[in-house]
Structure 1
Amino acid sequence: MTENEMTMEELMGDIDKSMTRLNQGDCVEGTVMSNNGEELVVNLELMTDGVMPKSEMDFEDGSSIESVQVGTKMQFVVLKEDDGQGNVVLSRKRAVALDVWEEINQSLESGLPLHVKVTEVVKGGVVGKFKGVRFFMPASQVRLERVEDLNQVVGETMDVVAIEVRNKKDFVVSGRKYLEAQRALKEEDIYKTLQPGETVEGVVRRLADFGAFVDIGGVDGLVHLSELSWKRVKSASEVVSVGDRVKVTVLNVDPEKHRISLRLADYVNNPWSSVNEHYHVDEIVTGVIRRLQPFGAFVELADGLEGLVHVSQISDARVEKPSDVLSVGQEVKVKILGIDAEQQRISLSIKAAQDNDEDAYTAYVEEEEEAPSATSTLGDLFGDKFKDFLK
C-alpha cells in the first residue's frame, strides 16, 4: 500500500467526519477557498461548505475581508445550519469574541495583561474597547498615582488587568493593579541583585521631614537627612527637589522589611578625605556640641566632621549623664585623641583639653616665679656684686 492510499478505517473516519452535523453556536475551523470581497467560501471538510458574509468579519483588529488570503485557516462560529442553499452560515467576529472572553477570564483569574486603548472619559473613569468588548476603568485604577485630569489618558494605549466581568457584555479593568504587579516583580529582582556599595542613578520622588525618597528603577530608597550632605541640613529641600536626577550609593538592603538605605553620591569636598591634613592627634581645637547620648557627646569640628567625646572624657569628676554638664549648641575646647579617616571617626576629650590648659597655666606660673620680680630693687639684683666691688 502506497502512502497515498488510505486504509478502510481512515476512509470510514473521513466519511463519518463529513457527515457530522453542525449546530448553531458551534466553533469550527475552516480553510478559505474563495474571497470575492463580499463573502468568504470556507471548506469545513464536511458535506457542505461554509459561507461567511462581509458583515460577520471582525474589524476590531484593523483587518478587512479583502485582506484574507485563499488558503488561510480560521476559526468561525456557526450562525445558521443552512442558508437555504445547503451552505452553513459562519461568523468570524463571533469566534473572535469567544477568544476575547477567554482572554478576559484568564486576565481575571491569573492577572494576564490586556493591551487596551482608552477612547473616552465618562463619569467616574474612562472607557474603551478590547477586541470589540467594552471596558470601564475607574479613575482610581488608571495609574499608581491619582490622575487629576482623565483627558490626559484619552487615546493612550496601556496594559491593564480585568478585575470584574459584567454579564458577558462589558468588564472592568485596572491599570494600577497591573503596574503594582510589575513593580512587585521589579522590587523582587532589585532586592535580589542590589548590593551595598553600588552607585546607581535615580529620581527624587518625594521629600519627607527625615529625608528624600529616590526611585532607583521601580523601587524607592531613602536618603536620610544625615546622608544628604556633609553639611548639617534641617530639610531635604535644602539639597534636592522632587524630579531631580541624582546618583546615590547603596548603604543597606533589607528584603524582609522592603527597605533600601541610600546616600547621595555626588558629595562635594568630602571633609574626611583631607581630615589628616587639617587635624592632628594631641591638637586642641574648638567645636560645637551637636548631639548628646548616654555614652557621650558628639562635637562638630567643621561641616561634616563630628567627633565623639566619651562620657569618661568629659571631666575628671564622675559624670552620670552628659546632659548633666553639657548642652547642645555649647562651644567647647577638645583635645584630639585619635583620627580614623577610613571609618570616619574622631575620638575627643574635653578633660584632656582642660588638663592641657591647667598644665600651661602651671608652667606659666612657674616661669613667672623663676623670673626676676618687677618690684625688685637694684640692691636686690646686684647686692652681691656691690659687696664684691666695695671690698
Structure 2
Amino acid sequence: MVDEMNNEMTEVKTFSVGEIVTGTISKIEEKQAFVNVGYKLDGVIPISELSSLHVEKVSDVLSEGEEVEVKVLKSTDDELVLSKRAVAAAKAWDELQAKLTSGETLEADVADVVKGGLVVDVGVRGFIPASLVERHFVEDFSNYKGKTLRLKVVEMDKEKNKLILSQRAVLDEEASLKKRETLTSIKVGDVLEGIVQRLTDFGAFVDIGGVDGLVHISQMAHHHVETPSEVLNEGDQIKVRVLGVDPDNERISLSIKDTLPGPWEQIQGKFKQGDMVEGVVKRLVSFGAFIEISPGVEGLVHISQIANKHIGTPGEVLKEGETIQAKVLDINISDKRVSLSIRALQEEKEAKIENEVKQEYQKQDDHAGFSLGDVIGDQLKKYKN
C-alpha cells in the first residue's frame, strides 16, 4: 500500500518557471480560468494573461474543455500561475520576423479603432497607423472594426513590444503589379475605357487600369480647347485611344479626339448648297478668309466673294473674330471643303430691296418727279449704311 501511494506521488508533475505546458480548461470564472496540467492543483490563467489585447470576460476567449498551451509564470506548492499570452507572443514574434524578412502578407481582424489608427491581434498587439491603412485618405475608421485586413510587417521591436503593420503596403504592391501588367499589355491603337483622375493646364491624366496616361489638351477635341475643364471633369468615364507607350518610363499618351466622330462627319447632312450659314472669321489670308461654321469646320470665302465691289485685301472688310453670315456655294464632305460667299448674300438682299421698291413705286400714281432709279438708289444707300 505504501508503495502504491509513493508511485502516485511520483506521478504528480512538477514545473519550472518559463516552462511551456499543455492543459485542459477545467473551470472558467469572470476574471480567470483554471487549467488541468497534471499538477497537484489546477493552474490559473489571470485574465490579463489571456491575450495581448484587452479582454472583458474570460468566456470571450476560452471555453471549458478546451486544450491550451501555456507558459509557467509562477510555481509553488500552493500556486501555479500560467500565461496563454506569453506562448502566443513567443510564437508570433518568430513568425513576424520571418514575414518581415520575406515580405509575406498576413491577415488579421481589426480588434479596435483607436486614435491614430487600428489595432489587431496577431499573437501580439499590432498597430496600423491611419496613413498605412489605405492608399487614399480615410476620415472615419469606425466601420473598420471586425474587418479582415491583409497586412505586411513594416517595423517590429520585440524588446519594446512594438509592431507596426501596413495594409497600404499590400495595396501599393498590387497596384504596382497591375500597372506593370497594363504597361506591357496595351498597344498603340487600342481603344480603352478610362477615368479622369486629374486636370492640369496642359491636359488630363486618365486611369486606364492601374496606370495613368496623359491626354494632351490638343487631343481632347477636334476643335480648339482653351482649358481641359471646358470638356472634362475629374471622375468622368471616357473612351481613349492609345497613341504611344513607354513602359520603361511608365508613360502613356492618349487621345480622346481619335475616338470621336470627326467634325466633317458631324456636319454630314447639316449643310447644303444654297444654305445661309453664320460663322466666325478665324483667319485672313491674301486670297480670302476662313470662316468656322461648325466646331473644327472652316469654309473659305474667296476674296472675290467678300464684297460686291473690288477690294485689295480681305482685311479691308473683315476682322478676325468677327461673326458674319455667308451663303454656301459648294460643299464637299469627302474633300473637306466648303466654299462660301458673303457677296452672294449682299446681292440677294439688294435684289430683294430693289424688287420691293419697284413694286411699291408702280402702285403709286404720283411719283413727285422722282424716277424709279432715284428711289431704289436711296433705299440701297440706307441698306449699305
Q: Tell me the equivalent position of 2:263.
A: 271
Which residue number in structure 2 is paired with residue 181 of structure 1? 173
- Give the Cα separation in 2 of the matches to 1:95 and 1:261: 56
Shift of 1:287: 9.6
- Offset of residue 220 of structure 1: 1.8
For 1:232-291, what per-residue CA distance to the aligned partner results, in whole angstroms no more than 9, with x for missing partners? Answer: 21211111122x231223415443322233333896654354588789xxxxxx9967xx
Equivalent-residue separation in structure 2 for 1:64 and 1:99 (angstroms): 24
Question: Structure 1 237/154 Cα, relative in aligned 2: closer, same or farther at 3 Å?
Answer: same
Q: Is 1:129 paired with 2:119?
A: yes
Please tell me the residue identity of whatever aligns with 2:93: W
The runs of 5 or more residues in structure 1 that have no matched partner are 1-17, 280-285, 290-298, 307-328, 340-345, 354-391
Does 2:215 correspond to 1:215?
no
Partner AA of 2:250 in structure 1: H
Matched, 1:155 2:142: yes
Q: Contact 2:18/2:71 (CA < 8 Å) preserved in 1?
A: yes
Partner of 1:10: none
Q: Paired residue for 1:58?
A: 51
- Take 2:112 and 2:229, find their aligned partners in 1: how far apart are those partners? 37
**Residues 300, 171 of structure 1: alpha-carbon distance in 2 compared, 3 angstrom cutoff:** farther
> What is the CA–CA distance in structure 2 between the aligned matches of 1:300 and 1:118, rounded to whole Å?
65
Match of 1:15 in 2: none
Work out whether 1:84 is the aligned partner of 2:77: yes
Pairing 1:293-312 to 2, within 5 Å after superposition: 303-304=295-296
- Counterpart-to-counterpart distance in 1, 2:186 and 2:293: 35
Tell me: CA distance 1:93–1:266, structure 2 relative to 1, closer, same or farther (3 Å): farther
2:199 touches 2:228 (CA, 8 Å); kept in 1?
yes
Q: CA RMSD in A?
A: 4.8
1:178/1:42 Cα in 2 relative to 1: closer, same or farther (>3 Å)? same
Contact kept in structure 2, 1:127 and 1:134, CA below 8 Å: no
Counterpart contact for 2:119–2:126, Cα < 8 Å: yes
Distance 1:19-1:262 versus aligned 2 partners, 3 A rule: farther
SS, match of residue 232 in structure 1: coil
TM-score of the superposed pair, with normalisation by structure 1 = 0.52
Q: TM-score, normalised by structure 2?
A: 0.53
Kindly state the Cα deviation for residue 172 of structure 1 after the two structures are TM-superposed: 3.7
**2:204 corresponds to which letter in structure 1?**
A
- Indicate conservation of the 8 Å contact 1:229/1:264, yes or no: yes
State the alpha-carbon separation in 2 of the partners of residues 192 and 71 from structure 1: 57
Measured after TM superposition, the shift of residue 133 of structure 1 is: 2.1
Contact persistence 1:19–1:47 (CA under 8 A): yes
How many residues get paired?
Answer: 273
Q: What 5-or-longer segments of structure 2 have no aligned partner?
A: 1-10, 272-279, 284-290, 299-319, 322-329, 340-385
Is the aligned partner of 1:96 residue 2:88? yes
Contact 2:100–2:152 under 8 Å retained in 1: yes
Partner of 2:313: none
Mapping for residues 249-328 of structure 1, pairs under 5 Å:
249-252=240-243, 253-264=245-256, 270-271=262-263, 273=265, 303-304=295-296
Partner residue of 2:35?
41
Q: Following the alignment from structure 2 to structure 1, what is the Cα–Cα distance between the partners of residues 281 and 111?
A: 64
- Residues 264/170 of structure 1: CA separation in 2 closer, same or farther (3 Å cut): same
Runs of 4 or more consecutive aligned structure 1 residues displaced over 6 Å after TM superposition: 18-21, 46-50, 265-268, 275-279, 335-338
Percentage identity across paired residues of the two chains: 24
Say whether residues 1:75 and 2:66 are aligned partners. Answer: no
